[in-house]
Amino acid sequence: MELYRSHVLICGGTGCTSSGSDLVEERFYEEIKKNGLEKEVKVIRTGCFGLCEVGPVVVVYPEGSFYAHVKPEDAKTITEEHLLKGRIVRDLLYYESLEEASDQVKSINEVDFYQKQMRVALRNCGVIDPENIEEYIAMDGYAALGKVLTEMSPADVINNIKQSGLRGRGGGGFPTGVKWSFAAGAKNDQKYMICNADEGDPGAFMDRSVLEGDPHAIIEAMAIAGYAIGASQGFVYIRAEYPIAVQRLEIAIAQAKENGLLGKDIFGTGFDFDLEIRLGAGAFVCGEETALLQSIEGYRGMPRPKPPFPANKGLWQKPTIINNVETLANIPQIILKGAEWFSSIGTEKSKGTKVFALGGKINNTGLIEIPMGTTLREVIYEIGGGIPNGKKFKAVQTGGPSGGCITYEHLDQPIDYDNLIALGSMMGSGGMIVMDEDNCMVDIARFFLDFTVDESCGKCTPCREGTKRMLEMLEKITSGRGEEGDIEKLEKLAYTIKDSALCGLGQTAPNPVISTIRYFRDEYEAHINDKKCPAGVCKNLLTYYITDDCIGCTKCARNCPVDCISGEVKKLHVIDTEKCIKCGACMEACPVNAIVKK
């Protein structure tokens, strides 16, 4: 590695890559070469920076200049101005990093989006080159593994994790140290350590980003866990839909093996640990741990009843621990900085930080990490930058298809495992979908049910048949055929499924319905009794009409695909509601917003 005076960090996360960051990288190499700066300026492809909304993201150090929406052609400008002459290209900076009053340029770490965050699991994402083991080591990487192997007994490690209060980040929230102690206590000649990277919630991409940005942290944590429970073999179960994460992980595993950090006799302590990748085909249910085990063994991914728990009888009937990616990302930090440091962050029963994928109706779509106990208001308005277009906040959905909604009244509630459950939602893996006044809550429930019906493995009847019937009822309501008593039927079925389904997927599948009925019963009633969709989403319940604001420009009539709008030039137009297919083309075409739907 050479010493360079300037580092150009280009985001290589999935978000930025899909908006063209690889082309940006290519152009930077060309421009830097053209200007003869190869020996002074280094280009590094990192993991996700988190602010995916403004991608492709490029950060130039030592200044920490945060360039947003960088296009390939901008590489020329940044190279010639910033890298060659040291003049930061203000026009290309992230809007918030330019202080208007003083015209000062803020570094990436000073903008609001990052100020409120606390990055533990994401600490290296967007900071190091994930494909370079030396950079990970420079950030104290593998020091935790060294410490564990040379100074601590397996029991010490487990106690340490127990004391830290770390709970599983995949959704369940089970104390990680306690889980480890079950497998450590099980007597067997072979045990397994598994990383669950089968991230399936719609809109969630925390685990993918950790693996893309800091794969070595997962390898190190798995080796530590292997030592603690007595496992010499690990597997990372990851979906094939995450090609960049798989590739970086493969590179990282190869580097770790090359450096003797995986394999036989690590650090000369006699501890052996090997790691392999297992690709999943992307079935949601395979994130459930017993289904995941089936899938690794080569069978169809279907859950089985618990007990026996995997910690006693897991992979090939051997004691197995399955931890989520984000859970593992915390482990090396806890070992190095101590259980007390970790347990000082967060709330009484939820320690540490949590990564959330912010999506939906929010300005700063992206990935954030906050201490447990941060309020939703801080997340949405301070880090997330609020709701676009001045719309009114309605609810936030957490926990994906297994979770529920949290409404305006609860914006000031601190986010932690127990509080979210009390509010009828759950932490889940960390998807956070923000909804505004234009979202219909019945339709949201229908969307999630549609997902679970699709993903139900079909093994147990409550989930296979029950979710299907619920979806039918929701479709009936959103299409305007709802009858009195439907809400009660939905509720009854929801609780039956909750009580009788085999695995977590089925037991939590009714949550979106239960929670939307709990907080937005009036919307359900409006659909059923008044045949109206208050948010204006459900097509069958809408009527488009033209108000007196019409200037008679004929644009709507020309854009209507079914020719149902009539009227003379410069006179009020009329929609034939019988023929109207409610496509909304006229509304988009109208220059004076004279068309409304109700």
Partner 1 sequence: MKTLAELAKIRDEAKGKIDLRGKKGTRIVVGMATCGIAAGARPVLLSLVEEVKKRNLNDVEVVQTGCIGVCRLEPIVEIYEENGEKVTYVEMTPEKARKVIADHIVNGKVVSEYTIGANA
Contacts with partner 1 by CB under 8 A lie at 1-7, 9, 39-40, 61-64, 84-87, 109, 127-128, 134-135, 137-143, 146, 150, 259-261, 265, 267-268
Start-to-end CA span in the chain (Å): 64
- Nearer of residues 143 and 277 to partner 1, judged by Cβ: 143
Cis status of the peptide bond prior to 591, with omega within 30 of 0: no
Task: Work out how close the CB of 269 gets to partner 1 at its nearest, in angstroms, rounded to a whole number.
Answer: 10
Is residue 439 within 8 Å of residue 361, measured between CB atoms?
yes
One DSSP character per residue, 383-452 reads IS---GGGPPEEEEEESGGG-EEEEGGGTTSB--HHHHHHTT---TTSEEEEEETT--HHHHHHHHHHHH
In the bound state with partner 1, the residue whose beta carbon lies nearer, of 149 and 564, is 149
Cα 166–169–175 angle (5° rounding)?
A: 35
DSSP character string of 200-214: -STT--HHHHHHHH-
CB of 97 to partner 1, least distance (A): 15
Between 58 and 405, CB nearer to partner 1:
58
- The nearer residue to partner 1, 62 or 485, going by C-beta atoms, is 62
Nearer to partner 1, 264 or 481 (CB): 264
Cα angle 206, 208, 211 (rounded to 5 degrees) comes to: 110
Q: How far is the CB of 85 from partner 1 (least distance, A)?
A: 5
Q: How far is the CB of 270 from partner 1 (least distance, A)?
A: 12
Place of tokens 């083991």: 133
Cβ-based nearer residue to partner 1, 42 or 351: 42
Residues 101, 106: Cα–Cα separation, whole Å: 12
DSSP string, 26-66: HHHHHHHHHTT-TTTEEEEEES--S-GGGPSPEEEETTTEE
- CB 3 → partner 1: shortest distance, Å? 4
Least distance (Å) between residue 210 CB and partner 1: 19
* Nearer to partner 1 among residue 41 and residue 546 (C-beta): 41
Minimum distance of partner 1 from residue 428's CB (angstroms): 32
Minimum CB separation of residue 88 from partner 1 in Å reads 9
**Distance between CA atoms of 514 and 492, rounded to whole angstroms?**
10
Quick check: 597 and 535 in contact, CB under 8 A? no
Cβ distance to partner 1 smaller for residue 139 or 411: 139
Distances (CA, A) of 327 to 80, 146, 170, 182: 43, 20, 7, 17
